[in-house]
């Protein structure tokens, strides 16, 4: 751990971001990175600020990490912005969080277009406030022809209910005679999930020292490499992302096979 810290510090001092990004050329970059952005509240508390100030800072950080992921050639970036459990938070905090997509997508849209980034969303759209729905739908529509990185927001998302819904759709099709019980396979479940258009995540990052999945992409993360950091989300910068990707590059993904296969 100490070695890692010392290495990280000297790395930051001696090599700038551009050099680190250039070093990545020709290396394997995860096609899809999923991030559980945690620690906004603690970031604010440390500064004697209200929790929502942490969320606002967290939103600003989404821009930074989106740009960095795009620069290193990531194809899809999924960000857990609001879980189905987050409705239990105080009303004022929920309302604040529900305004963030609007602020983010409105101010960032010109750059998203310039960067050829497409906005997507997983989660229950219908129960979001109308203004949040409008902002997300508008950004999805305006960026729909972009062919670069997909910036996918998990908003009002819960993985178990996503799996239940996929199974229900399949059972309905079986009842209607469109498919047989044998047609209910791993592939058909995957294609009925909200992520059907995306590759499964190669790398999952969770910030703030929590080491759990919190009902996030349980099916899709079956073979994903996990990377946890104590860094709070608003402090998770480009170097942190590159640290995670560099670590990923050292892993040997075996998918249940043997080393070196
Ligand atoms: C968890 O931290 C974070 C959230 C519930 C919200 C995450 C949202 C953002 C980072 C902004 C999203 C931006 C857009 C554009 C939609 P926490 O509040 O649980 O932190 P704590 O554990 O320190 O209290």
Q: Which residue has the higher pLDDT, 62 or 259?
A: 62
Tens of pLDDT, residues 165-197: 999 999 999 999 999 999 999 999 999 999 999
Question: Which of 58, 85, 151, 216 to mutate for ligand 1's pocket (most ligand atoms within 8 Å of CB)?
Answer: 58
Does residue 110 have a pLDDT over 70?
yes
What is the bridge-based pairing of β-strands 32-36 and 203-206?
parallel
Q: Is 250 exposed, middle or buried (0-12, 13-18, 19+ CB in 10 A)?
A: exposed
Q: How many residues does the chain have?
A: 261
Taking alpha carbons only, the member of 228, 186, 187 closest to residue 210 is 228
Instruction: Identify whether 38 is a catalytic site residue.
Output: yes
pLDDT in the model for residue 24: 86
Tens of pLDDT, residues 221-246: 999 999 999 999 999 999 999 999 99
Instruction: Identify whether 86 is a catalytic site residue.
Output: yes
Distance of CA 79 from the midpoint of ligand 1 (Å): 10
Distance of CA 214 from the midpoint of ligand 1 (Å): 13
Of the chain, the percentage scoring pLDDT greater than 70 comes to 92
**Spatial separation of the C-alpha atoms in residues 11 and 237, rounded to whole Å:** 14
Task: Map 136-202 to HEC letters.
Answer: HHHHHHHCCCCCCCEEEEEEEECHHHHHHHHHHHHHHHHHCCCCCHHHCCHHHHHHCCCCCCCCCCC
Are 159 and 126 in contact by the 8 Å Cβ rule? The answer is no
pLDDT in the model for residue 261: 52
Tens of pLDDT, residues 43-55: 999 999 999 999 9
User: C-alpha distances in angstroms, 17 versus 5, 132, 146, 184?
Assistant: 17, 34, 26, 47
For 109-112, the CB contacts below 8 A with 24+ separation are 109/139, 109/142, 109/143, 111/63, 112/139, 112/143, 112/146, 112/151
Section 35-49 average pLDDT = 98
**Spatial separation of the C-alpha atoms in residues 116 and 146, rounded to whole Å:** 5
User: C-alpha distances in angstroms, 53 versus 45, 159, 182?
Assistant: 9, 28, 51
Ligand 1: residues with CB < 6 A are 37-42, 55, 58-59, 62, 81, 86, 97, 100-101, 104, 153, 208, 233
Taking alpha carbons only, the member of 231, 251, 187, 221 closest to residue 42 is 231
pLDDT in the model for residue 252: 74
Q: Where are the domains of the chain?
A: 29-158+197-249
Question: Which of 34, 35, 41 to mutate for ligand 1's pocket (most ligand atoms within 8 Å of CB)?
Answer: 41
Distance of CA 106 from the midpoint of ligand 1 (Å): 19
Domain 29-158+197-249 classification at class level? alpha beta
Section 200-217 average pLDDT = 98
Does residue 80 have a pLDDT over 80?
yes
Distance of CA 38 from the midpoint of ligand 1 (Å): 6
The backbone torsions φ and ψ at residue 217, rounded to the nearest 5 degrees and listed phi first, read 45, 50
Secondary structure element (H or E) that encloses residue 104, with its range: helix 91-114
For residue 13, what pLDDT band results from cuts at 50, 70 and 90? Answer: very low
Structure token pair of residue 48: 């004697």
pLDDT in the model for residue 3: 46
**Spatial separation of the C-alpha atoms in residues 129 and 139, rounded to whole Å:** 16
Q: CB under 8 Å to 98, separation ≥6 — which residues?
A: 82, 128, 129, 131, 132
pLDDT in the model for residue 1: 45
What is Dmax (Cα atoms) for the chain?
A: 64
Does residue 5 have a pLDDT over 70?
no
Average pLDDT over the chain reads 93
Structure token pair of residue 2: 């100490």
Tens of pLDDT, residues 67-76: 999 999 999 9
């Amino acid at each position: 751990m100490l070695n890692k810290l010392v290495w990280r510090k000297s790395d930051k001092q001696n090599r700038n971001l551009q050099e680190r990004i250039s070093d990545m050329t020709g290396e394997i970059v995860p096609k899809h990175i999923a991030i559980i952005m945690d620690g906004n509240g603690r970031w604010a508390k440390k500064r004697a600020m209200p929790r929502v100030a942490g969320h606002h800072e967290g939103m600003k950080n989404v821009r930074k990490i989106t740009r960095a992921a795009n620069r290193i050639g990531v194809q899809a970036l999924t960000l857990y912005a609001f879980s189905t459990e987050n409705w239990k938070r105080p009303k004022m905090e929920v309302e604040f969080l529900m305004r963030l997509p609007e602020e983010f997508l409105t101010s960032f849209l010109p750059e998203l277009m310039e960067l050829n980034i497409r906005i997507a969303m997983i989660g229950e759209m219908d129960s979001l406030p109308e203004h949040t729905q409008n902002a997300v739908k508008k950004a999805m529509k305006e960026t729909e022809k972009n062919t670069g990185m997909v910036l996918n927001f998990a908003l009002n998302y819960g993985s178990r209910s996503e799996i239940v819904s996929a199974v229900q759709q399949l059972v309905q099709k079986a009842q209607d005679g469109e498919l047989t019980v044998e047609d209910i396979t791993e592939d058909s479940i995957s294609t009925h999930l909200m992520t059907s258009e995306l590759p499964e995540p190669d790398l999952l990052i969770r910030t703030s020292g929590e080491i759990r999945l919190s009902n996030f992409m349980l099916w899709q993360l079956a073979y994903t490499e996990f990377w946890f950091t104590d860094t709070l989300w608003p402090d998770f910068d480009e170097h942190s992302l590159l640290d995670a990707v560099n670590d990923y590059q050292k892993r040997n993904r075996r998918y249940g096979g043997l080393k070196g296969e």
